[in-house]
Structure 1
Amino acid sequence: MSYKYRSGLRKGSSKNLMIGPGALFKNFDLANFDHNDITTFGELLGATKGGNEVEMELEYHTVEVDGALGAVQGMEWLTAANARIKTNLLEITKENLMLKLPNFEIATHNDEYDIIRHDGQIAPTVSNDLALVGEITGKSIPVIVVLENARTVDAFNLPMGDGKEDVVLSAEFESRYSEEEPTKIPFYILYPKGGSPVSEPVASPAPGTYTGAQSVTLTAVAGSKIYYTVDGSIPTPSTGTEYTGAISVSATTTIKAIAVVGSDTSAVAQFSYIINP
């Protein structure tokens, strides 16, 4: 008797993968958001290190019932929920410092310096809607995780190190509830619609070994756009190069390409060309 691994892998699994660390924006405004216009995403916090993490902490009260061996369905309720995003900011800008220093203000000190100083007030704390924008394979528009009324809750810590490591400003953001809806968790996710199957692009000439340079054409279903990379990375509409004409291949190259129709993308097609004069 032989055995095989049992797996949840299925047709289409490759189109549901999150890729990349994502990018953080403050002052996200859902009412003015347009996925085609990055200027409507808010203010970019800049480069990060070590990845970004979304956390939702939920606490429940469970009624203990005599005779029941454990928790009884329907006899528990939510008592606390805290949504967080954790990151390490590589860009030590004035604006990022201000995120970590509530009730501080920036003023002009002289011709060379601005001064960031506490304004003497203890309340109210400053908050804004924070969005983590990420890519998902199979979609041409991003997934967006939003903390409403978010502010930093961890200590201000700027380790300068010994010059051998990157200096990062760690930040843990936590959402805050509104007075109008104190039981509605201030957290939501914008997930792209779609679901229509899109066929992968086709390359001509076929991948293989050639003795001279090749002019590679990519084709896909009518009405689609094609995006490709030649550096080994997974192409997306925001990171790939839009295909507008034949690709010249004069050295050994691997082309990765996707077809895009609306908000849906195909699986990644890979075409490897070995140039061996």
Structure 2
Amino acid sequence: MADAVKMPSAGVTASTPERIMLGAGVYAKDLPIDTLPTAEQVLQGIIGATNGGGKVEIIPEFKDLEIDGVLVKTKGMVQKVGETAKMETNMAEVIPEMIAKMVVGKTDTSTQDYTKIVSKAKLEAGDYYSGLGFVGQTLAGNPIMVIFKNALCTSGFSTEAKNKEQAVFTGTFECYADTDAITKGDNLETLPYVIWIYNKDTGAMEQA
């Protein structure tokens, strides 16, 4: 009787340290999506310190075609019909610009030593973050980035202060397409986001 084939007992490979994410990462604005952001651009664009990190979520939306006799999910009988992309941040700093974007408000700095934020009736282009990105690292120190071309806070402003606890300001920022895509002859079928993943073999960043 032939000996049984010995199968791997773990999924660890030599490349594993290059692929495991470690740490909370940072969130930055004004990052490009057509070219690889530089370390200086990320540093200059940091929107604030976090407490509890954050979350990135990109979910395609599917439609199963309804065909008589097809009773189970079937490859080739499903279509992508949309997608959503979100970043959730837990900010530790009280930053007027961010709070204004969370509440869709306007700022007034005419009062000495204070920034005044009040509500406004209409959404404007400046209420979106341009190039909002999450920048994390793998165990080996290689970067991974997720960047939204246009990001709007859809969760509003929320914080909870408790005795002997540090308060955070949680915001959810969703990715939005550009209406100028129509003028360029493009259909509004995909969201303008980019994922950069370090490629160890080439020593470069890959765009997903």
TM-score of the two chains, using structure 2 as the length reference? 0.80
- Residue in 2 aligned with 1:160? 161
1:28 alignment partner in structure 2: 31
Contact 1:29 1:129 in 2 (8 A): yes
The residue number in structure 1 matching 2:97 is: 95
CA shift for structure 1 position 72: 2.4
Whose relative contact order is higher, 1 or 2, with alpha carbons under 8 Å and at least 6 apart?
2
Structure showing the higher helix proportion among its residues:
2
Residues 9-64 of structure 1, C-alpha deviations (whole Å, 9 max, x = no match): 223222221111110001223467542x4245652122112222111122211112
For the Cα contact (< 8 Å) 2:27–2:47, is it kept in 1? yes
Give the ranges of 4+ consecutive aligned residues of structure 1 lying more than 4 Å apart after TM superposition: 31-34
Q: Is the 8 A contact 1:139 1:192 kept in 2?
A: no
CA distance in 2: counterparts of 1:135 and 1:87, whole angstroms: 17
Give the deviation of 1:171 after TM superposition.
0.7
| 2:66 partner SS | coil
The residue type paired with residue 65 of structure 2 is V
Give the Å deviation of 1:93: 1.5
Q: Distance in 1 between matches of 2:117 and 2:193?
A: 30
Q: Is 2:189 the partner of 1:187?
A: no
Matches within 5 A, 1:123-142: 123-124=123-124, 126-127=127-128, 128-138=130-140, 140=142, 142=143
Report the Cα distance in structure 1 between the residues aligned to 2:108 and 2:15, rounded to whole angstroms: 54
Residue pair 1:55, 1:85 contacting (<8 A) in 2 also: yes
Is structure 2 residue 31 aligned with structure 1 residue 65? no
Is it true that 1:148 corresponds to 2:139 in the alignment?
A: no
CA separation of 1:115 and 1:182: change in aligned 2, threshold 3 A? same
Q: What percentage of aligned pairs have identical amino acids?
A: 22
Q: Quote the Cα distance in structure 2 between the aligned partners of 1:21 and 1:189.
A: 17
Segments of structure 2 that go 5 or more residues without pairing to the other structure are 1-5, 182-186
Alignment of 1:47 with 2:49, yes or no, is: yes
User: What is the CA–CA distance in structure 1 between the aligned matches of 2:42 and 2:34, rounded to whole Å?
Assistant: 10
Q: What is the root-mean-square deviation in Å for CA atoms of aligned residues? A: 2.8
**CA pair 55-71 structure 1, distance change in 2 beyond 3 A:** same
CA deviations over 1:181-202 (Å, ceiling 9, x no partner): 4102222101223316xxxxxx
Q: Distance in 1 between matches of 2:118 and 2:148?
A: 27
The one-letter code of the counterpart of 1:23 is V
Number of residues of Structure 1 aligned to a counterpart in Structure 2? 194
Any stretches of 5+ residues in structure 1 without a counterpart? Answer: 197-261, 265-277
| Cα pair 1:20 1:134 within 8 Å, conserved | yes
Secondary structure of the 2:12 match is: coil
- Supply the AA of the counterpart residue of 2:199: K
**Match of 1:100, SS?**
helix
The AA in structure 1 aligned to 2:167 is V
Q: Is the 8 A contact 2:28 2:42 kept in 1?
A: no
- TM-score by structure 1 length? 0.62
Using a 3 Å threshold, how does the CA distance of structure 1 residues 26 and 4 change in structure 2: closer, same or farther?
same
